[in-house]
Structure 1
Amino acid sequence: MAAFFPLLFAAFAGLCVAMQSPSNAMLARSTGSIWFASLVSFTGGVTLLLAIWALFDRTPVAMVRQAPPWAWIGGLYGVVFVAAVAYATPRLGLAVTLTVTLAAQLSMAVVLDHFGWLGLKQEPVTLTRLAGLALVVAGVFLVRR
């Protein structure tokens, strides 16, 4: 039962990513720029995050100094993701774009888990995990056809 809410939240995040991709693609198509569309997308996200932080959280800003330097660049990955998906979605279709990004995410996740990099608990690669990853990669090819 303890894993129910994290699973539900993760599923909700997946639904949001599926909605975000065509929204950003339309914004990029309308403006003619994936970079401006990404900027608008992040501006909306930052605005919402600032409101949530100010209303409910208020963690002191100085706390960020406790994070290791590599933890500060998470937003850069988000920029690459948003821009790439805004570019790829109208060219590949949403299902192909998201299955490719999902396969890439899972591939990296297996590596990061295996080595325990970036502060993660070490989870060794197993045949079961590799089989699951292989099925997702196979899914990319099936969705593409």
Structure 2
Amino acid sequence: MTLFLIVLFGLIGGVAVGIQSPISSQISQRLGGSLESVFIVHLSGTLIAGALLLLKGEAQFGNWRVLPWYAAIAGVFGVIVISAINFTIPRIGATASVTLVVAGQLIIGLIIDQFGWFETSVREIDVSRLLGVAVLLLGTWLVVRS
């Protein structure tokens, strides 16, 4: 897969987070709670994933025993993300909220890469990666402080 396609898919994921965030916050504000929004977001995602699995026709659920124990709690992080977005958007806006989520991803991504956690390739923290994240964190600060 070319670098262009990898970057394109990554950007599409970022666009999805950017669109999902204010929609989720709107659900939370209109229904009066973050958990309602989390439930609706995850239920709709479950239904779409289920439909896609049916279309694919060959789900691999029979191999669930090979998953590490922490795979069972991955959904918890989705609850945290949606709840954080629901809390921050009404207070600081969509741009600052999504920027903070991305900043958090950068920080944990550096740590995960450094140690190869969750069976990822080890990519040690070096000066250029630190500088890149520092520039993005500076941008985060400029966006959030406004």
For the aligned pair, the TM-score class normalised by the smaller chain equals: over 0.9
Counterpart residue number, 2:126:
126
Aligned residues: 145
Instruction: Name the stretch that deviates more: 88-97 or 67-76.
Output: 67-76
Matches of 1:5 and 1:141 in 2, distance apart?
30
TM-score normalized by the length of structure 1: 0.94
Counterpart of 2:20 in structure 1: which amino acid?
Q
Aligned pairs for 1:60-99 within 5 A: 60-99=60-99
TM-score normalized by the length of structure 2: 0.94
Matches of 1:7 and 1:33 in 2, distance apart?
35
Matches of 1:52 and 1:59 in 2, distance apart?
10
Matches of 1:57 and 1:87 in 2, distance apart?
39
Among all aligned residue pairs of Structure 1 and Structure 2, give the percentage whose two residues are the same amino acid.
27
Counterpart of 1:137 in structure 2: which amino acid?
L
Counterpart residue number, 1:28:
28
What is the RMSD computed on CA atoms of the aligned residues?
1.2
Counterpart residue number, 2:110:
110
Counterpart residue number, 2:8:
8
Unaligned runs of 5+ in 1: none
- Once the 2 structures are TM-superposed, how far is the Cα of residue 57 of structure 1 from its aligned partner? 4.9
Superposed CA deviations along residues 59-92 of structure 1, whole A, max 9, x for unmatched, are 2321121111112222111111011111211111
Matches of 2:60 and 2:114 in 1, distance apart?
33
Q: 1:29 is paired with a residue of what secondary structure?
A: helix
Matches of 1:85 and 1:64 in 2, distance apart?
31
Instruction: Name the stretch that deviates more: 118-127 or 49-58.
Output: 49-58
1:53 aligns with 2:53: yes
Counterpart of 1:71 in structure 2: which amino acid?
A
Q: 1:121 is paired with a residue of what secondary structure?
A: coil
Instruction: Name the stretch that deviates more: 59-68 or 10-19.
Output: 59-68
Matches of 1:39 and 1:126 in 2, distance apart?
40
Counterpart of 1:37 in structure 2: which amino acid?
S
Matches of 1:60 and 1:106 in 2, distance apart?
31
- Once the 2 structures are TM-superposed, how far is the Cα of residue 135 of structure 1 from its aligned partner? 0.8
